[in-house]
Chain A
Amino acid sequence: MDSQNEIRRASWQSLVAVALTAVVITFNHVFTLGSGAFVLGATLLAVPPALWIWFRRTANIWALAAYGAMNAWIVVGFGLIKGLWDITLPIFAGTFLSSVSTAYPKPVFGAFEFEISGVAMFLGSLFVLYYGLQLIPSRGRRGALSSVAAVGVTAILLAFVALDHDVWTPPKQGVVKIGVIVPTTGPYAMLGNSFVKAVQMARDDLRDTKYRYELVIRDSGPDPEKAKQVIRRVVNDDEVDAIVGGISLIGQETKPYATAARIPHLCVCTVSWIGDGAYNFTNIPSPEAEGELWAREAQRRGITRVALLTQDYPSINNHVKALKIEIARLGLTVADDQRFDGSVRDFRSLIRRAAASLPDVYYVEALEPGLDLLGQQLGDARIHNVSAVVAPSLSDNPALFEGAWYTDSNLKDIGFKRRFEEKYPDTRFATHMMPYAYDSVNMIVSAFETGQNPAVYLRNLRSYDGTAGLLTKAAASGNFASRPAVWTIANGKPALLNQ
């Protein structure tokens, strides 16, 4: 009788544990399954009680077995695999291990609610396991199963410590495959094609290397959704050992694939969060670095009043935001600030208003075709004191900005541009991004040549002296920082002013 009461109480506690854990599982899966999580939740909430009632009424052994299977699904599938292995261990063990050794990657977390509900999912599954074991009548058998569970959790912890470790594996048959993923069609075609050529030049410049380096060049296209298929093929089918990419819009899609494959991804991208310092790294001056140099150069030129004429566009807005901070810090004045839509073609009224504010310089940034139209209309208004960040180097007709000064990628090795133009006379050298693309390939090559896991090598790398000058990275950071340079348009072409 006592045993019957004990089982009845345990069954009630087991059902409550299953129900509460099912609620947590549902919440957690909303982040991955969307509304499909509610179907999963309804199943987990309805089926176990139904099976238990069936068992109590009929003593059918299959009903009890099915109830046990549901418990096992919750404990193993949601508790141990998803809750413990995928979420709880990376949070605690992953964070700890990465803090003591760079051989372990820093864990990348999703939404706060997703992560914490994942931990709760694991804790809930422990209650499901405990009360599930209470339903087993024999104390001896219950004790043995508890011991197995404890040993199992310990084994999982040890397996995580062993498998989370990034180790050096020599490339298969001495060939290192580097995936090159950039859009070479659509609005990024000019940058993308120049990027590919810079990467090819880096590979062609290699001498006496221990391994052979193959480039797997793929056009991601400009659409991030379509790019995912290309990235998946490069990582899973081509089985590349590393990735060099460009354009933040594509880099953000490449990031999770590189992380899953545990291969380094060097992205010539300005969006800093893409560089997580685990497997993903960015390599280009930040908008803040561009803004700082621009404001310093403006001050050096005796400029005190600035008129801003900029297109409303994310990367341009980022430049303007950083620029305004530096302008204010150095005591310069924004005399006029106008942001226009990408569809604007007649800038004359905007130019008149800016001119009325009597600026020392007109800061302009826009994408084509607006950029060249703005340049033309500024010229028509006899305005030549023009400046920018990057923009003139992306112009289809740089001569429109003759005499303008601007900040852009550095070129410590100016011969790089000359060699590029000799090697690829039909490809326009887009100063922006190119030295970083070239240096990124060489950084990956250095990793393999020194016989180190390339991701660990990049985590440990604090400085690199390349064609773009000195690149530096703070410990644990995923962003290689570098100083931009001041350029001007002279004789219709970009020319480096100083470094």
Chain B
Amino acid sequence: MSAQHPLSRQVARALLAHAARVSPAGRRGWFVAMASELDHLPHGASVLQWALGCLLVAYTERIMDRSLTHLPRWLLATEMAVCLVPLTWLFVAVIMVTAQGHMTLVWGLKYASAALVGPLGLALAARILFVRSRALGRAAATLLALLAAWTFIAELGQSLDTGLPVSTWWRDFVLIAVLPAVAVSHLLWINADRRARALRAH
């Protein structure tokens, strides 16, 4: 350990080199800047704290970058199918039962509106995942979010209304309300990221 480069500075430098390595390629220049700033921190400054903060930024940027756009398309498609197909089946069943007269039109419309996020979500997911150049407009994204919220609220209200213990209905609730909400949230996140990138590119 030399007097010029005490251990804390060496460790800090190693942390920043690691931060630059794990950061997304588009952000690497920032970490080079942070590393060079480290060499200008005055004696007595907490260089380790500085470097740890930068490392945290590197991992956060990496997570934000990878979680949205770097998941394989097949994995996202599987996620969307698992989350949205059960509700799509419910939508189809409601339409058929209503058409056959086993359910009144009013209830049929209520159930169908609560299940609509299933088929609509699948269609929009296909567009987002397989037509890479296109992002959903604000109106479509808002509609999807509102439908998912409506499904969640309607299913929760109906489940609570039965007066039965949670243990009897939580599985249906997860299939019909939670999984679609997860899928829609992820889709909207991907879409927002795509829109932001498109804006930056312009």
A and B are interacting partners = no
* Chain B residues in the interface with A (C-beta under 8 A): none
* Chain A residues in the interface with B (C-beta under 8 A): none
